[in-house]
C-alpha cells in the first residue's frame, strides 16, 4: 500500500533510510527538509504493517520561482524488499500527486539506468542548471507542464541539501 506519511511513520522512515543507504546522511536530510517545511509529498510503502519504502518530493527554487518545481529524493526501499516494484510504485504515485498539485518540473540526481523509465531524461536535465549539472547523465528532469525556457533555468537547492556537498 502506498500512502501519505504520517507523524507515526517518522522513526520507521529514518531507520529505513539508514538501512537502505548504509549511513545517516539521507535520513538526516529527510528530517531537515521536513523541519524546513519544504516537503511537497512524502509517501511510504507499507506491507503487512511494516514500512518498506519511502519517497520524498521537496521544494526547489527554479528560475527565481517562476514555476513550481520539486526535487525527487531521497527515496529508499528496504534492502530485502528491493527489485519487487516498490520503488517504481512510489515514484509513479509521487509523480501523480506532484502533477495534481501543479508542479511543473521534477528534478532528480540519480542512476541513469533507473529514472528514464518514469519519463526523466538527461536531455531535459540540460534545460536546468544546478551544482549537480556537472554529474552528466545523473542529472535528469521530467517536465509535467509545457515550459518555455529561452535558456537553462537556474535551480537553487534549499539549505538542508548543503550537508550533502
Q: Which of 13, 20, 56, 106 binds ligand COA (CB under 6 A)?
A: 20
For ligand COA, the closer of residues 26 and 143 by Cβ is: 26
Q: Is 72 left (phi over 0), alpha (psi -120 to 50) or beta?
A: beta
For ligand COA, the closer of residues 117 and 148 by Cβ is: 117
**Binding of ligand COA at residue 96 (CB under 6 A)?**
no
Q: Which of 8, 23, 83, 134 binds ligand COA (CB under 6 A)?
A: 83
Q: Which of 44, 51, 58, 74 binds ligand COA (CB under 6 A)?
A: 74
Q: Which of 2, 46, 82, 131 binds ligand COA (CB under 6 A)?
A: 82
Q: What distance in Å separates the CA atoms of residue 29 and residue 65, rounded to the nearest whole number?
A: 22
Max distance between CA atoms of the chain, in angstroms, equals: 49
Q: Positive or negative CA dihedral for 16, 96, 99, 142? A: positive
Write down the least CB distance from residue 4 to ligand COA, Å.
Answer: 18
**Binding of ligand COA at residue 27 (CB under 6 A)?**
no
Write down the least CB distance from residue 132 to ligand COA, Å.
Answer: 12
- Hey, which residues between 106 and 145 contact ligand COA (CB under 6 A)? 110-111, 113-114
Secondary structure class of 73 (helix, strand, coil)? strand
141-163: string of b/e by CB count within 10 Å (b at 16+)?
Answer: bbbbeebeeeeebebebbebbee
54, 5 contact by CB (below 8 A): yes
| Alpha helix ranges (H) inside 76-154 | 86-100, 122-125
Write down the least CB distance from residue 143 to ligand COA, Å.
Answer: 20
Which chain residues interact with ligand COA by CB under 6 A?
20-21, 73-77, 82-88, 110-111, 113-114
Amino acid at each position: 500500500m502506498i500512502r501519505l506519511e504520517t507523524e507515526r511513520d517518522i522513526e520507521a522512515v529514518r531507520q529505513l533510510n539508514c538501512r537502505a543507504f548504509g549511513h545517516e546522511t539521507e535520513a538526516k536530510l529527510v528530517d531537515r527538509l521536513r523541519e524546513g517545511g519544504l516537503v511537497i509529498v512524502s509517501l511510504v510503502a507499507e506491507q503487512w504493517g511494516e514500512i518498506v519504502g519511502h519517497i520524498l518530493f521537496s521544494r526547489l527554487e527554479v528560475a527565481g520561482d517562476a514555476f513550481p518545481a520539486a526535487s525527487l529524493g531521497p527515496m529508499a526501499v528496504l534492502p530485502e524488499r528491493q527489485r519487487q516494484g516498490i520503488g517504481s510504485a512510489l515514484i509513479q504515485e509521487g509523480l501523480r500527486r506532484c502533477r495534481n498539485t501543479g508542479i511543473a518540473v521534477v528534478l532528480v540526481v540519480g542512476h541513469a539506468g533507473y529514472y528514464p523509465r518514469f519519463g526523466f531524461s538527461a536531455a531535459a536535465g540540460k534545460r536546468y542548471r544546478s551544482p549537480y549539472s556537472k554529474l552528466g547523465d545523473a542529472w535528469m528532469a521530467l517536465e509535467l507542464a509545457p515550459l518555455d525556457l529561452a535558456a537553462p533555468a537556474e535551480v537553487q537547492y534549499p539549505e538542508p541539501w548543503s550537508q550533502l556537498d
